Amino acid sequence: MARIVVLGAGFAGLWAAIGAARKRDEIGANGDIEIHLVDRNPYHNIRVRNYEADLDEVALPLGRLLDPIGVSHGLGEVEAIDPLHRRISLLTSGGEEVLAYDRLVLALGSEVMRPDIPGLAAHAFDVDTYAAALRLEDHLASLGRSAPSPGRSTVVVVGAGFTGIEVAAEMADRLARAGITGSRRVVLVDSNPAVGATIGAHARPVIETALASLEVETRLGVRVASVEAAGVHLSSGEFVAAQTVIWCAGMRASPLAASFPDARDRLGRLLVDPFMRVADVGGVFAAGDVASSVVDGLHPTVMSCQFARPMGRFAGHNVVADLVGLPMLPLRIDWYVTVLDLGGWGALYTEGWDREVKTTGAAAKATKQTINRQRIYPPLSGRKDELFAAAAPTVQAPPPTYGAR
């Protein structure tokens, strides 16, 4: 029996596994092809919701999604990949294991970059994973139960990109929910001279207006010099007393992408072709944040579920097709949108690679909630037909917009 291994159960990995099962079922090869998914966690994390206050529905058990379609799954930390001999070294609860494969889908995603700043590892939080988000939630709850003290009601968010802005915009409500009363303070720090430096000139004024309305302070053009339990020292010489520091400054592809000799971009992502194949490495596909593919003839994918989900679906379809010698399907996406959550102010919806603003405020917030709570979720009914329908190698239409700007 041939074995397809999918590494990672994020947006790309989950959909690669379901997409592969769909294709296997379509060609009647259920008894001939094993599909096995490996992740360090027994759940699929709706990662883009980790900044939210309510984490009740952001970790979906893998068994609920994969058992109905005959995809096996196991827990393990990937330690090494040997593409020459098609073997994977895993660290599991039982010790070290070696897993062989005939075809591989690499979907190990990305991780937040933590530079070697004094005190950062010991004192800073993040929302990169579900476990990290729970740790932050527990910390805020514990502050809510404690007596007033310096920095208790102050949060410093480092990194004014997409994640940092969403975390900062949500934070005042999260502090209130945690029972932290009195004067609450949120400070957003970034080394760039403007908030949302990569988001574009069209969107930036909207973001600045929203943050001002939410009373989020900014410290721009400065870096974090050190972090301690009592607060943050900035390169400007300022010390911000804060018992909560959240690091959101930059992402990088899984370091296991370096297992392959092929070209990688500045984020460490493997360059893949329109079929999601890793060039010059037999039997290996890659999708999601660990891969970069030019999907419209000009623009490479960005690290987001908007691209990870279709990359996963096409990788899953194509890895089975490649295994049995059938034609593969190229992925092409001719639209790009961004929807940035701005907390109690609303949201920002842009279209195109120049991020032209289409809707803002409550109208954009409705779109954001549709995406975060419906569109990016797999079917939860446990029905094979619904899971397979959702995994078809097609590209969804852009999300709906509501009202006007």
Q: DSSP characters for 313-341?
A: HHHHHHHHHHHHTPPP--------EEEEE
380 in any annotated domain:
no
In this structure, the answer to whether residues 185 and 278 fall within a common structural domain is no
E strands within 101-169?
Answer: 103-106, 110-112, 154-158
Kindly give the residue spans of alpha helices, DSSP state H, lying in 161-276: 162-177, 204-213
State the residue for tokens 């527990």: 138
The CA-atom distances, in angstroms, between 87 and each of 108, 180, 324, 382 are 16, 51, 20, 32
Q: Which of 334, 366, 387 is the last residue of a domain?
A: 334
Answer whether residue 390 is part of any domain: no
Spatial separation of the C-alpha atoms in residues 313 and 12, rounded to whole Å:
7
Domain CATH code at residue 232: 3.50.50.60
231 and 299 belong to one structural domain: no
Q: What is the pLDDT of residue 234?
A: 98
- Chain centroid to Cα 204, Å, comes to 22
d(CA 72, CA 66): 7
Please check whether residues 89 and 52 belong to one and the same domain. Answer: yes
Same domain, 153 and 137: yes
Instruction: Identify whether residues 122 and 217 lie together within a single domain.
Output: yes
In terms of domains, do 222 and 328 share one? no
Map 36-104 to HEC letters. EEEECCCEEECHHHCCCCCCCCCEEEHHHHHHHHCCEEEECEEEEEECCCCEEEEEECCEEEEEECCEE
| Co-location of 48 and 62 in the same domain | yes
355 belongs to a structural domain: no
The reported pLDDT for the residue numbered 403 is 73
Q: Could you give the C-alpha distances from 214 to 130, 171, 231, 367, 396, in angstroms and in order?
A: 26, 10, 22, 20, 34
Domain boundary among 334, 352, 380: 334
C-alpha triplet 197, 201, 205: angle, nearest 5°: 90
Judge contact between 253 and 268, C-beta under 8 A.
Answer: yes
Q: State the pLDDT at residue 279.
A: 86
Domain with 323, as residue range(s), is 2-111+252-334
**84-107: pLDDT as tens digits:** 999 999 999 999 999 999 999 999
Asked if 68 and 140 sit in the same domain, the reply is no
How many domains does the chain divide into? 2
Is residue 377 included in any domain, yes or no? no
Pairwise CA distance, residues 260 & 253, whole Å: 13
Q: Please give the structure tokens belonging to residue 350.
A: 């842009």
- Would you say 127 and 137 are in contact if contact means Cβ atoms under 8 Å apart? no
- Phi, then psi, of 389 in degrees rounded to 5: -60, -40
Query: Which residue, 310, 334, 358, sits at the end of a domain?
Result: 334
Q: What is the dihedral of CA 336, 342, 345, 351, to 10 degrees?
A: -10
* Residue 318 domain flag: yes
Is residue 282 one of the residues assigned to a domain? yes
What pLDDT score does 404 carry? Answer: 57
Do both 140 and 120 map to the same domain? yes
Please report which helix (H) or strand (E) contains residue 23, including its range. helix 11-26
Residue type, 80: A
The string of DSSP letters for 273-321 reads: -TT-BBTTSTTEEE-GGGEE-BSSSS-B--SSHHHHHHHHHHHHHHHHH
In a domain? residue 201:
yes
Convert the pLDDT of each residue in 230-282 to its tens digit. Answer: 999 999 999 999 999 999 998 999 999 999 987 789 999 999 999 999 988 89
Which structure tokens are listed for 191?
């080394």
pLDDT at position 181 is 80
- Sign of the CA dihedral 377, 167, 129, 199? positive
**119 and 105, same structural domain?**
no
Do 144 and 99 share a structural domain? Answer: no
Does residue 341 sit within a domain?
no
Other beta carbons within 10 Å of 87: 15
Residue 180 amino acid letter: I
Residues of the chain with pLDDT under 70: 404-405
Residues 93 and 178 in one domain: no
> Cα(263)–Cα(265) distance, rounded to whole angstroms?
7
